[in-house]
Structure 1
């Protein structure tokens, strides 16, 4: 959804609404609807709903409630001896008051933008279609006010709430009713039930519970509004603009519920690429990824590398256990963080949590959406690794795969391609796995860049791996290491970064996987490798062997080749003086990159690159397809060997 214009919400205008907001907290009147009163018949948690429905002694009369009084009563109950209001109670009360003021501001803005102000002044003289429009706009104004209010509460309190709110969600029995009748009724109704819950002795046991409950309550309010928003009319002036709060990173863009500011960067160990031995392919890829992400333009909300075809929203690193996956994740994060700090760019390290799969029906999807949402925030660079990806994204058709895994994959696919997929070129998801063959096929087909994490591979690699270990001992006791070093090798020299992929792939001649090689030979008999038809025939042969090979794979190969065209270093002085490139506007950056790309392409041979990338990709497809079968065969052979040996021993 394109938001064409941004409007500031000015602090001094909010200050003028603060008294009105605190007035609502001191006292509101609400008469419960008949349906809400009778909710207790089929309630899941009778005590709480019964309590809510009898909130005014069942008399049906309008009742006056006061959130501020309830908070004071809570203070007495929770901390009878303390004089100051406990910090969480205070923080919550303040956040709700600020949010009400902001909601009123947004409602006033909608009144003016939608023409509701004019209708309101002439309301006694309106004809029937005018009355209908007036009521309809009134409902929309109320809904948007409540949405903005709830959204602001979450923005300010969610970072302080507990990470796991499942216990509080279990206690919460839902919202008996939500009113969109008029702004006044909307606020009164939402505060009435908020107040009732706060007053219930089961809900709040500690002052931290107040923040946790408030977050759960206002999340439920947003869900309720999202469910009903399709029935609202006259929403054009809501969806075509963004409201940004002055001196804050809070913004409302239509009904978008992107929790900007709720995802906090996770701590990680700082690791430099030089400390990782071997893994040339992986280190090279990681360096390119960081340079590309750093080129993102915050003003234009896009990345010039995306236009050049060199950006990977989803990539995969795979290899046998113990080759440095976790170190690589930390090294990518370290490199991004250092450059971001240097360039004054907000950075979010956002790994997928281990606790994603939930036993509750629908719980995993909810958690996955919560994890994927921040990736749509255009205001920071985001690196989102999924370590041991086969745990949460495993093949859905395999036996015994939990419903939770299916939910997680569903969300992943929706957010990486399809209606929900927004990629500004500022975030990248990395799947890291020892068992790529166990990943879901649809997930693998979303992967646009892939590389092996194969650890130490040469004599120099193993020398360096040992050197990194014993040099620590040498520092503390120089005489202790009494061994001779190689005369013709300087330690860690081989661990530098490659100039480009050609350096790494120049030894790729023919496919290494037997079935791919066979297809390759068949295609070679029909056409030369520098003819377009060669590849068309090769793909056809591959499809006969691997029926799941599709045009999405061909697209992935194309994007791998495009990546090679942008496989050049950014100039070192661009990093030293950010003004030259990083601080330039989008057009300038794009033109500078295009120049570099042209220079780079002069030294490349397109048909050779195409061949290398196709061979590399198809080998990968075959490896993944065959590994599963091979693993079962190996296990069976192993078992038979053990039995044969055991018989021999037994015979003796």
Structure 2
């Protein structure tokens, strides 16, 4: 298995610079002979020869066929290796071929550590008006990613707790989701340029849904692997995920959409998911209630992208969008002072000391009147159980996401800007030094933090559930109406 995987891995890696837009479908690999290394290679080369004869009339198709075969072989061998014994010496070490810049790191595909060329318009933090918690968490997450140690292939935040691997950004159309993506991608791009790190940004869009069976899943897997690459800092976004990933049991979901859902669920919280802390995935939607429940719950953090809220927010966004080509005075207002992040975030978190959604507020008030202030683990657990009784979708995964969010709050500090501007101060230090510097900045966890994070997460679930139920009811009402109309016309026709 090791021989086969390294052969396929090296073949795919060394051919990557020769790849073109041409693609080839070689189908499933069948000759995986695991008797010994020599026999395994003989079988692989025999099958590869058949694929070349069938799919490679010219050089472009030859490269595409060999690469497709190598990737299919890697995938099949990695699946077989998941249940194979005595692989620890291989999976816990790494080897590097300096001449080819090729690294063998267990059953993980090697990628050339190249940055993607970004053509998007970046936004500065002050240009994101409102959305205080979402903006604050995006700012902190950008700096967290930069703490990744390329030597150890691990981020101290992933080990200490508080790293956000997946998050869900939801809000009404026009509230600033795209602006938030542009801000975070811009920050990471700038930080990586200063440090000399490769940065990879990729968006999974509706273009990746394919009519060919299995192709949509392959596209989603390629997106995941590109962002996960441990040789680069990665940021993957899935905009309008409700259109891209199908809801299981929904008759309107296409086969391609369901394939993408399966890949995302397995990649974000599957048995083989490894969180190194070099990348993060953001799912964004105007209609999160249409996202599959299990996939939505794989979002470890929730960013409510609610746009401008206050009078000051609306003045700031008007000032920003009007530009400079006018002589209209600003008036009695200090531009962007309301976007002062620390003050705004503190108020936003404090507002979650009580729930926002009516259904959750009833549960909260009832529990508090029964057992008093939620100031012990036992009382907080009783509150969680009461939420579960009100909404059966509130499962153990929800509790994990809440505790992860609390750990994020324990890391409720921003890495100093000078650490990003001067890499010698932090970025270029070794892993243990980074972990020690981060550890010194941690703040203690309080019951207020826990209550706020329970309410923040549960509010979002109640919000999604209420909308989801309303959508389902509306659909059923329409179906009943159609049935009645069809029955009426049928009887009129018979008469």
* TM category, shorter: 0.7 to 0.9
Asked if 1:591 is matched to 2:443, the reply is no
Asked if 1:405 is matched to 2:245, the reply is no
- Please state how far the C-alpha of 1:411 moved relative to its aligned partner: 2.4
Alignment of 1:214-253 (within 5 A): 214-222=66-74, 238-239=90-91, 241-253=93-105
Alignment of 1:191-206 (within 5 A): 203-204=56-57
8 Å contact kept, 1:159–1:262: no
Q: Aligned to 1:258, which of 109, 113, 128?
A: 109
RMSD: 3.4
Distance, in Å, in 1 between the alignment partners of 2:188 and 2:274 is: 22
Q: Aligned to 2:10, which of 152, 162, 170?
A: 152
Partner of 2:408: 563
8 Å contact kept, 1:284–1:500: no
Aligned length: 476
Q: Aligned to 1:550, which of 395, 399, 402?
A: 395
8 Å contact kept, 1:513–1:622: yes
8 Å contact kept, 1:258–1:376: no
Distance, in Å, in 2 between the alignment partners of 1:409 and 1:230 is: 22
- Please state how far the C-alpha of 1:431 moved relative to its aligned partner: 0.8
Partner of 1:578: 423
Instruction: Decide whether aligned partners of structure 1 residues 632 and 573 sit closer, same or farther in structure 2, where only a CA change above 3 A counts.
Output: same
SS of the counterpart of 2:174? Answer: coil
Instruction: Decide whether aligned partners of structure 1 residues 236 and 549 sit closer, same or farther in structure 2, where only a CA change above 3 A counts.
Output: closer
Q: Aligned to 2:60, which of 208, 223, 229?
A: 208
Asked if 1:534 is matched to 2:379, the reply is yes
Alignment of 1:450-489 (within 5 A): 450-472=302-324, 474=325, 481-486=326-331, 488-489=332-333
Partner of 1:312: 164
Instruction: Decide whether aligned partners of structure 1 residues 234 and 548 sit closer, same or farther in structure 2, where only a CA change above 3 A counts.
Output: closer
Distance, in Å, in 2 between the alignment partners of 1:227 and 1:562 is: 33
Partner of 1:347: 199
Alignment of 1:172-183 (within 5 A): 172=26
TM-score (norm 1): 0.65
When structure 1 is superposed on structure 2, of 317-326 and 355-364 the one drifting more is: 355-364
Instruction: Decide whether aligned partners of structure 1 residues 204 and 591 sit closer, same or farther in structure 2, where only a CA change above 3 A counts.
Output: same
Partner of 1:274: 126
- Please state how far the C-alpha of 1:631 moved relative to its aligned partner: 5.0
Q: Aligned to 2:291, which of 425, 429, 439?
A: 439
Q: Aligned to 1:614, which of 454, 463, 481?
A: 454
Partner of 1:371: 223
8 Å contact kept, 2:200–2:235: yes
Partner of 1:324: 176
Instruction: Decide whether aligned partners of structure 1 residues 159 and 450 sit closer, same or farther in structure 2, where only a CA change above 3 A counts.
Output: farther
- Please state how far the C-alpha of 1:371 moved relative to its aligned partner: 2.3
Distance, in Å, in 1 between the alignment partners of 2:35 and 2:375 is: 69
Alignment of 1:96-107 (within 5 A): none
When structure 1 is superposed on structure 2, of 152-161 and 561-570 the one drifting more is: 152-161
Partner of 1:523: 367
Q: Residues 352-390 of structure 1, C-alpha deviation per residue, up to 9 Å, x if partnerless?
A: 243333333333333332222244432221111111111
- Please state how far the C-alpha of 1:432 moved relative to its aligned partner: 0.8
8 Å contact kept, 2:221–2:263: yes
Distance, in Å, in 2 between the alignment partners of 1:323 and 1:181 is: 59
Distance, in Å, in 2 between the alignment partners of 1:529 and 1:346 is: 49
SS of the counterpart of 1:506? Answer: helix
- Please state how far the C-alpha of 1:332 moved relative to its aligned partner: 0.6
8 Å contact kept, 2:406–2:453: yes
Instruction: Decide whether aligned partners of structure 1 residues 406 and 631 sit closer, same or farther in structure 2, where only a CA change above 3 A counts.
Output: closer
Partner of 2:335: 491
Instruction: Decide whether aligned partners of structure 1 residues 221 and 420 sit closer, same or farther in structure 2, where only a CA change above 3 A counts.
Output: closer
SS of the counterpart of 1:498? Answer: helix
Q: Residues 105-135 of structure 1, C-alpha deviation per residue, up to 9 Å, x if partnerless?
A: xxxxxxxxxxxxxxxxxxxxxxxxxxxxxxx
Rg comparison, structure with higher value: 1
Partner of 2:239: 387
Partner of 2:148: 296
When structure 1 is superposed on structure 2, of 244-253 and 427-436 the one drifting more is: 244-253
8 Å contact kept, 2:132–2:344: no
Q: Aligned to 2:348, which of 489, 493, 504?
A: 504
8 Å contact kept, 1:266–1:350: no
SS of the counterpart of 1:400? Answer: coil
Asked if 1:624 is matched to 2:468, the reply is no
Q: Residues 42-79 of structure 1, C-alpha deviation per residue, up to 9 Å, x if partnerless?
A: xxxxxxxxxxxxxxxxxxxxxxxxxxxxxxxxxxxxxx
8 Å contact kept, 1:345–1:381: yes
8 Å contact kept, 1:529–1:607: no
